[in-house]
């Protein structure tokens, strides 16, 4: 640690700070806008949510302490809680690994020396700049049961088209397809990860007689595992919060098949004006995501390989 | 606010009369027309309270009063002919000019959710108001209907609400009013001598909570949902092209003939009774009304639709799809399309449509070649008590949140949009009845659609208030699930209705219990 001499006024009344103190001060000065924003707009609301979960609060009037009433209601008297949770888990379990797989495949493809590689990279990343609301409307029409392009394409091959967002069995797969469209960012990070794998490892494997598949299994996948782990954690956290697609396209239907947890929470908060209950739901989701992330971290030591 | 306005207005009128008395003396003293006019103008001008001259009362009403006084002077004194129009014009012009620098500009912030083709009409409405109230600038903001709840909540909770908000009678009125975030309008209406009889009774009921009126109706609470059909297709299948089906039986017959099937595949939809689409919570309740059923008790504490009428309505709807199309499944992709379904009707791909009164204009603009007929929504002729009637739950109204920055300006604007020309001209342009009873007598409303307009006015007389629940949004979600489960045969219609009513009653009871 640096010596502290700030408390001792020097001749002339000036306070002298050690170099490391000065550096720290500047560091916090430059960080302060973000820290302030984080405290006011993120940390503050998070603390408020924990508190409001124990209250009856409709925004118009002051919160009223009700203890565990909201939590008891969620776990014992909410007919849709389990349904929304299962819908969300279904989405997470298919969409997150699906995205990772697609991103990995695309990244492998784009990591080769193919002609027009830059154009492909741009093309696959392009959907990332389309807002979720706009993409939702596009997919609503692409997958329209009667007028959609996908239906007409399937008709050409004589394949019966599902009703997609009007059929409770196909609505979630439809939304998952849309989520795959947003694979661009994951792909770019995967690509960066692939490019960081030292080539001498591949050379060594080749010399040892490893074919392409073996090189992928024994070099690429292990070496990419820290990236995959990072993407998995981020994917889990964001996918548990799926909202916009269902909000725009299906409003939770048909038959509540796309009523995801956060959409349901939103209904409580902004349609029913029950912020206390919605806050309790948010806390439950927070704990759930924390647990899932914790488990993921716990398993990581078995499959994530850091280059030492 | 308004008591001050009243006093000022009285003072002004009294002053005007007194001033004209003096002017009469001046008239007697001299004989020249020009001099007398100038003198009258001068005296009246002095009596005008300048702070009021640019409000619409002065601009609109005072010239009439001045005119009357001038006429009296001319008639009583018989000494000179004063050009009364000149006097009035000069008075108003002069005082407006004098007052202008003294009057502080005001802003009224106003949030609404009517975009698209209605936005220019809103802009015209605002412009008309500003023309009559040059000291008030209305800053209107279009809010997305899907995000309006968040925005309103944030603004109200943040203590910075707009001066005037457009809100929905069914979804917002009770929640907002019960929490004390809206200004009751009763006293303001009384001071300005505006009777609640201005509007249809059921419109007043929609915006009344706990005995007070918290918003004024802007649009009618009914969309005037009517039955539209393609006359050429009706004739083609042997139906009377002017059929006007009035009962469920007649509708079934029309549906059977108009529908074209190829095996299980529906080639053309004859009739689709989904008013508002499969995800709308509205149509079950609307058909229950056509079966003489009710949704909730007048005190909003009891859910009533698990009656024979409610169950009968859902049973009829499920049977209708089963009989006509071999099940809802077969017609689901076609009828769930919302605007796409309307377009299909315009293109002749479906034979009929339940839709709002806006179809008059849409048909004229987008399908001028389609010969269409229009009739009331039919009632259940198997129920002797049933008759044609329309359910009224709530439309769009204007309210003033508590603690707004400019309550005076807000009230003036609110009156303009709900009781005055701002309302009438808007709905004449829309060819849609106004909630202001008197306005609907304006011949301009029906000049392009005389027969159809008569039908629309009948709807207004056949409308019945159905009180919205304090937990209406929850009930709406339950209703949607109930409808879907019945149509897709997950439950029998009777079970679905019973389940929906039980779940709804639980939510209603909980709300009242928590309210205390």
Q: What whole-number distance in Å separates Cα of residue A275 and Cα of residue B347?
A: 46
Q: What whole-number distance in Å separates Cα of residue A143 and Cα of residue B130?
A: 47
Half-sphere exposure of B379 (CA within 13 A, CB side): 17
Going along B132-220, which residue ranges are E strands? 136-142, 164-168, 208-209, 212-213, 216-217
Q: What whole-number distance in Å separates Cα of residue A189 and Cα of residue A185?
A: 6
**pLDDT tens across B360-412, in order?**
888 888 888 889 999 999 999 999 999 999 999 999 999 999 989 899 999 99
Cross-chain CB nearest to B333 (options A163, A256, A273)? A163
d(CA A34, nearest CA chain B) in Å: 23
Q: What whole-number distance in Å separates Cα of residue B182 and Cα of residue B47?
A: 38
pLDDT of amino acid B387? 94
More confident residue, B86 or A191: A191
Test the A interface: residue of B165, B168, B333 with most A CBs within 10 Å: B333
Contact B153 A59 (CB under 8 A): yes
The CA dihedral of B131, B134, B136, B138, to the nearest 10 degrees, is 30
Contact B157 A273 (CB under 8 A): no
Query: Any idea which of A222-236, B141-155, B265-279, B413-427 has the lowest mean pLDDT?
Result: B265-279
> Average pLDDT, stretch B327-335?
83
Q: What percent of chain B has pLDDT over 70?
A: 80
pTM for this model (two decimals): 0.82
Contact B149 A59 (CB under 8 A): no
Contact between A148 and A161 under an 8 Å Cβ cutoff? The reply is yes
Contact B485 A60 (CB under 8 A): no
H or E segment to which residue A296 belongs: helix A275-303
How does pLDDT run along chain A (308 residues), one tens digit per residue?
A: 444 444 444 555 567 788 899 999 999 999 999 999 999 999 999 999 999 999 999 888 899 999 999 999 999 999 999 999 999 999 999 999 999 999 999 999 998 888 888 888 888 888 989 998 899 989 888 988 878 899 899 999 989 888 898 889 999 999 999 999 999 999 999 999 999 999 999 999 999 998 999 999 999 999 999 999 999 999 999 999 999 999 998 889 889 999 999 999 999 998 899 999 999 999 999 999 999 999 999 999 999 988 76
Residue B199, beta-bridge partner list: B436
| Helix, strand, coil in percent for chain B, rounding step 5 | 55, 15, 30
Q: Give B-chain residues touching A167 at CB under 8 angstroms.
A: 332
Q: Give me the DSSP letters along B218-286.
A: SS-S----EEEEEHHHHHHTT--TT----BHHHHHHHHHHH-EEETTEEEEB-----TT-TT-SHHHHH
Q: Give B-chain residues touching A59 at CB under 8 angstroms.
A: 153, 156-157
Pairing of strands B106-112, B164-168: parallel
How far, in Å, are A252, A261, B35 from residue A174 at the CA level?
A: 13, 17, 84
d(CA B331, nearest CA chain A) in Å: 10
Contact A267 B340 (CB under 8 A): no
Contact A267 B477 (CB under 8 A): yes
Q: What whole-number distance in Å separates Cα of residue B62 and Cα of residue A104?
A: 78
Of B104, B182, B108, the closest CA to residue B140 belongs to: B108
pLDDT of amino acid B223? 75
d(CA A93, nearest CA chain B) in Å: 26
Contact between B336 and A145 under an 8 Å Cβ cutoff? The reply is yes
pLDDT of amino acid B53? 53
Angle of helix B328-335 relative to helix B339-346, nearest 10 degrees? 90
Q: What whole-number distance in Å separates Cα of residue A63 and Cα of residue A49?
A: 12
> Average pLDDT, stretch B311-324?
96
Pairing of strands B216-217, A64-65: unpaired
Q: What whole-number distance in Å separates Cα of residue A306 and Cα of residue B185?
A: 69
Q: Give, as one character, the DSSP assignment of residue B25.
A: H
* Domains within chain B, CATH numbers bracketed: 2-102 (no CATH), 106-219+394-447 (3.40.190.10), 226-392+469-515 (3.40.190.10)
pLDDT of amino acid B12? 41
Residue B464, beta-bridge partner list: B391
Residue B319's CB: how many other CB atoms inside 10 A? 12
Test the A interface: residue of B180, B336, B508 with most A CBs within 10 Å: B336
- Interface membership of B278 toward A (CB under 8 Å): yes
Q: Give A-chain residues touching B336 at CB under 8 angstroms.
A: 145, 166
- Interface membership of B339 toward A (CB under 8 Å): no
d(CA A232, nearest CA chain B) in Å: 31
ipTM comes to: 0.84
Cross-chain CB nearest to A58 (options B179, B336, B481)? B179
pLDDT of amino acid B137? 92
Cross-chain CB nearest to A147 (options B278, B340, B485)? B340
Cβ contacts from A onto B, under 8 A: 60
How far, in Å, are B23, B354, B411 from residue B113 at the CA level?
A: 52, 24, 19
Query: Any idea which of A134-138, B88-92, B288-292, B345-349 has the lowest mean pLDDT?
Result: B88-92
B35 has pLDDT over 70: no
Test the B interface: residue of A52, A57, A58, A60 with most B CBs within 10 Å: A60
In chain A, whose CA is at the least distance from the CA of B277? A166
* Domains within chain A, CATH numbers bracketed: 19-52 (no CATH), 70-303 (1.10.3720.10)
């Amino acid at each position: 640690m640096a010596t502290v001499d700030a408390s001792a006024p020097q001749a002339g009344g000036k306070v002298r700070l050690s170099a490391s103190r000065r550096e720290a001060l500047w560091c916090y000065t430059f960080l302060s806008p973000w820290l302030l924003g984080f405290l006011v707009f993120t940390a503050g609301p998070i603390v408020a949510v924990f508190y409001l979960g124990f209250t009856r609060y409709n925004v118009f009037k002051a919160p009223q302490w009700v203890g565990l009433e909201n939590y008891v209601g969620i776990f014992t008297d909410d007919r849709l809680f389990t349904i929304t949770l299962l819908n969300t888990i279904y989405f997470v379990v298919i969409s997150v690994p699906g995205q990772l797989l697609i991103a990995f495949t695309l990244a492998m493809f784009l990591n080769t020396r193919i002609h027009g590689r830059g154009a492909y990279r741009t093309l696959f990343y392009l959907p990332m700049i389309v807002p979720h609301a706009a993409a939702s409307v596009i997919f609503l029409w692409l997958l329209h049961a009667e007028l959609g392009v996908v239906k007409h394409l399937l008709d050409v091959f004589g394949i019966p088209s599902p009703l997609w967002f009007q059929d409770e069995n196909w609505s979630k797969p439809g939304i998952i397809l849309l989520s795959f469209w947003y694979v661009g960012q994951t792909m770019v990070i995967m690509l960066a990860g692939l490019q960081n794998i030292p080539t001498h490892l591949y050379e060594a494997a080749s010399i040892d007689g490893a074919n392409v598949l073996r090189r992928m299994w024994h070099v690429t996948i292990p070496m990419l595992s820290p990236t995959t782990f990072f993407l998995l954690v981020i994917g889990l956290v964001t996918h548990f919060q799926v909202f916009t697609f269902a909000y725009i396209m299906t409003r939770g239907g048909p038959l509540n098949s796309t009523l995801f947890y956060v959409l349901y929470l939103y209904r409580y908060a902004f349609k029913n004006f029950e912020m206390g209950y919605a806050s309790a739901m948010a806390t439950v989701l927070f704990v759930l995501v924390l647990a899932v992330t914790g488990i993921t971290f716990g398993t990581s030591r078995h499959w994530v390989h850091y280059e030492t | 606010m308004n008591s001050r306005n009243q006093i000022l207005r009285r003072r002004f009128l009294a002053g005007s009369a007194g001033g004209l008395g003096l002017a009469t003396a001046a008239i007697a003293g001299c004989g020249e027309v020009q001099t007398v006019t100038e003198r009258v103008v001068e005296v009246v001008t002095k009596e005008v309270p300048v702070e009021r001259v640019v409000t619409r009362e002065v601009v609109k009403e005072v010239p009439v009063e001045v005119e009357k006084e001038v006429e009296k002077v001319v008639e009583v004194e018989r000494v000179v002919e004063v050009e009364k129009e000149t006097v009035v014009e000069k008075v108003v012009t002069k005082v407006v000019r004098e007052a202008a620098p003294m009057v502080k500009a005001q802003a009224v912030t106003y949030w609404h959710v009517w975009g698209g083709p209605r936005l220019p009409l809103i802009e015209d409405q605002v412009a008309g108001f500003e023309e009559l109230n040059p000291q008030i600038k209305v800053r209107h903001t279009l809010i997305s209907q899907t995000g309006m709840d968040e925005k309103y909540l944030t603004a109200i909770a943040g203590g910075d609400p707009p001066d005037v908000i457009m809100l929905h009678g069914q979804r917002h009125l009770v929640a907002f009013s019960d929490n004390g975030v809206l200004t009751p309008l009763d006293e303001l209406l009384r001071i300005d001598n505006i009777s609640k009889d201005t509007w249809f009774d059921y419109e007043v009921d929609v915006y009344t909570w706990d005995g007070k009126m918290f918003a004024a109706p802007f649009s009618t609470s009914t969309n005037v949902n009517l039955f539209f059909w393609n006359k050429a297709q009706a004739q083609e299948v042997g139906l009377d092209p002017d059929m006007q089906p009035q009962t469920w039986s007649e509708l079934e017959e029309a549906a059977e003939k108009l529908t074209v099937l190829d095996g299980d595949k529906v080639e053309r939809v004859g009739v689709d009774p989904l008013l508002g689409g499969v995800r709308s919570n509205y149509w079950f309740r609307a058909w229950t009304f056509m079966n003489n059923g009710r949704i909730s008790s007048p005190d909003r504490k009891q859910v009533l639709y698990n009656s024979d009428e409610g169950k009968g309505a859902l049973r009829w709807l499920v049977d209708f799809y089963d009989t006509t199309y071999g099940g809802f499944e077969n017609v689901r992709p076609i009828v769930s399309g919302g605007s796409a379904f309307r377009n299909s009707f315009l293109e002749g791909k479906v034979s009929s449509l339940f839709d709002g009164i806006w179809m008059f204009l849409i048909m004229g603009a987008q399908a001028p070649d389609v010969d269409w007929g229009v009739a009331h929504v039919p009632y259940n002729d198997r129920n002797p008590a049933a008759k044609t009637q329309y359910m009224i739950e709530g439309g769009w109204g204007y309210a003033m949140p508590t603690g707004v920055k400019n309550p005076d300006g807000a009230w003036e604007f609110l009156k303009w949009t709900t009781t005055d020309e701002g309302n009438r001209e808007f709905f004449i342009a829309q060819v849609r009845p106004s909630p202001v009873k008197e306005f609907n007598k304006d011949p301009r409303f029906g000049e392009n659609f005389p027969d159809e307009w008569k039908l629309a006015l009948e709807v207004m007389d056949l409308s019945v208030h159905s009180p919205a629940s304090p937990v209406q949004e929850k009930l709406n979600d339950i209703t949607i699930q109930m409808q879907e489960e019945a149509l897709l045969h997950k439950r029998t219609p009777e079970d679905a209705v019973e389940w929906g009513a039980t779940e709804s009653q639980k939510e209603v009871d909980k709300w009242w219990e928590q309210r205390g």
